A and B are shown apart, each in its own frame.
Chain A
Amino acid sequence: MTAITLYPLDKTKLLTHISFAVIFASIIPAINPDFPLYFSERIRFVTYLALAGMALVYIHTLVLYPILILEKNRRKYRLYLFGVLFLYLLVGIHLGLLLLTREGQGKNDFLLVRSFAPLDSEQAIWIFLFPLFFLLPITFLSHIYSLLIYREKVLLKLLEFIGNVIVVFLLFVLLAIVDGGVMFMILAIILAVFYCNAFYATPLLIDEKNIKKYLLVLLALCSCYYISSITYGWNVGAVGRGERFVAFLFILTGVLFISLVLSFIYGYIRLRLKAKEQLLNLKIGAKESELKLLKSQVNPHFLFNALNTLYASSIQENASKTADSITQLANLIRYMQEDINKDFISLERETKYLQDYIKIQEARCAIPPHVELKFEHIDDYQISPGIFIPFVENAFKYGVNPKGESELLVSVVCQENTIHFECSNTYDANFEVFHREQGFGIGIKNVKERLQLVYPDKHSIDIDKRDDMFIVNIKINTSNT
């Protein structure tokens, strides 16, 4: 539930997860000893560990990480994480024990072992260290996976970092294969120049437009590069005299040129992307402040204080009906501004709003409808706000004829953890709309969705049109909510 609110599933996401699950499930028969494909017991041990690790990745992403983001409860998250990791370690050690004690004893399913043979110290260390070693990539992977799902921005930086690490690693491997590692130092120097230019020098030129400083830094970089590579080359004996020295310098300069150009392009692209993101953030910020401004224009506190002043004037003028209407209106506005956004409010308040709404609507009718209200045993009950109001609203919209006789019955009765709401009103077959405005605008379709979301399998809704009556029955079971 918590993970789903953070990460709403659509079809493609669901398909990806299901295919992942199918792949994992297919590994399990593949490592079964009876299956045609035979794996050695060590490989099966590792596969089991990896499977448990994948389970851990999923548990972390779907259960633990939401605790961190939604509940912001770092302690709970850590506690659970350590619990799960510890469990994983136990499983790994157990699997290792099973494997080692049976290795080379003929029967080739180590999971069937029931008794352990004594271990020597080397084996014991291996058993403990192996799952522990496995934990590193798994925690890393699960963190990246969680970031991938919940926080895309952080991920981009991480991906850039990992990409750089991989490229640098590959370069070193390539060099090791080509010349056996003699030139490692030179590569390191070139990389230093590359990153200095990309991260430090290029922003000087593009962002700050400080050409003098840029050239100075570039000059310093180049001289450092030449001095250190020539000294190093001399020491390893890669640099000779005369023509060989010129050739070395030539290669050095070529490499420098390429690395400077590439790093400039890299730095430039980075800066552009960053500027774009900043612009986007600015736009979002502007939209947000616009929204805030809009909200402050209808500052509720101003409104309530103003209504209070009106209330005072009306009681001073002995206009008690006006005074009552003002408090009812204030209650309704407060309801729309505050309570409607809460998860649950007390049923008593909800019914109070129903009453206030009915009274205000009644006051607007030339011939008020005959209204019957029944609220019984509603203390101690909570309800998701806004479920009943649309029906009463509709009753006034379609059912209550302001110029003729009409009837409205609203009842909320609670019994044994069940809230029973009934709203019935006279109903004109000609379907004339008397009050056209939107009002709360929640709508019956939304009410149904809300009921399904908040009280799944715990409610019934029954809408009945018979003769000249429109009857709505809602029953909500509130146990365990």
Chain B
Amino acid sequence: MLLQIKNLNKSFAVPVLKNLNFELQKGEVHALLGSNGAGKSTLCNIISGIYTADSGSFEYCGQPYTPSSLQAAETLGICMVMQELNLFPTLSVAENLYFRSMSDRFGIVQHQAIQQRAIKALQTVGLNYIDPAQPLSQLGVGQQQLIEIASVLQRNIKLLILDEPTSALTGPQIDLLFEQIIQLKKQGIGVIYISHRMDEMSRIADRVSILRDGELVATEATTDISTDRMVQLMAGDESTSIDKKESISQPCVQSDSTLLKVENFSRRTKNQSGGDSGFEDISFNLRAGEVLGIGGLIGSGRTELLRAIFGADQAHAGYIRLASDEFKVQRIMKSPTEAISHGIGMLVEDRKSQGLLLSHSVSKNISFAILDRLTSKLGLVDQSTEQDLAMSMKKKLGIQYNSSQQPISSLSGGNQQKALLARWLAIEFSILLLDEPSRGVDARAKSQIQTLIRELAAMGKAIIVVSSETQELLKVSDRIAVMSNGRLAGIFNADELSEEKLLEASFCFYSSEGNQLETTNART
């Protein structure tokens, strides 16, 4: 037994891992499977010392183990290769491989020595054709990913955690990586393997553990479990019968008035770590009084799609048509200002870095997007109207704060989010794009925000909600579009969609064979 975890608990305001038991044998490849937010990454971060657990017991190599930091874990032979690459593009391949041991004790970089060593290291991941002296930035993303893995393999490891290592790799590179993993197994090294690609499970993993909402629901040998069963377990057994309309009223506006047509919309870019991100060939219609949910995994292009509709980033191909132009004009929004002038608002995904003016007061945050309208010809801001606006929004949305002059940074996440929503409600909009509207807010605020979304729809607004929480999507949406790897996997009527089906659709463009799922397209 290499690693044994018992009754692990961890919460960030809300419980993320609940009474989790996990074990890893020497020489075993143990896959972790689960949808977004199931707790896979948190578990790995705890094992590798980045986070500390709230409670639970750890045993590593037969010894009690309390991982205190990344460095502490590494000295014990536990290494993690993260999804985001931790490499230095301007340094050479060799310097990246031996970043922490490249110099002698006088601080002089030993170029000759590390390049010699690098040649061997590169062979282990099949990159023998790469010159160790060339800058890392000249390499492709897949090659960089392999360099990162090679760099970890150079260390004296006993336990390796791989977080989606194959997402940027080509078929032959994956084969090579798997050969390496098999080598590691032979040396008795345990591997924890996270991936969204179902087909890889039976290929490389010995056992698979399925996480759902912070709980480990099953651990099975991969030979004993089918892909369908895995999806079922991820979704949860009860998911087929969600009482989706709990407290939320049904849409009362069932008009057929389309407000927005998105046609063959595409935007493909390299993301920070160099991988592809964005979306391709997306088409759908959005009607007044409707909530369209967008589901799919993180990184499937949902946020990028919303940002392009809003003009925060420009789409590369395709266009949108608006009811206000009688659908005659093909538009690509060039800036948020332009989108807002056409009645489109957007609540951003990361409120701290993109939405809030953290040191500003609540009222200043609420009024910001309509500040020009609160301003006299002299440029004077009408502060009493601004206060009134803050007060009315406070009542309307139940934002809790002591003083409207209080900096918004002192509010809870839920109240911050409500204040940002209030910023958009203050504007005349017909279409509202919400990216993860209830992320990082407590349960009560979450249900209030969801109710508000339904109310807005009932008033005839058209709303798109991106959410990683399947329950939330099913609860607030009339229809749900599922994105997978930048493409639209299908649009479903919310009452016909099960959580299981949604997950299946989310994964459909990730499998390396690329078999497309048969989807029941709802009335588009």
Are A and B co-members of a single complex? Answer: no
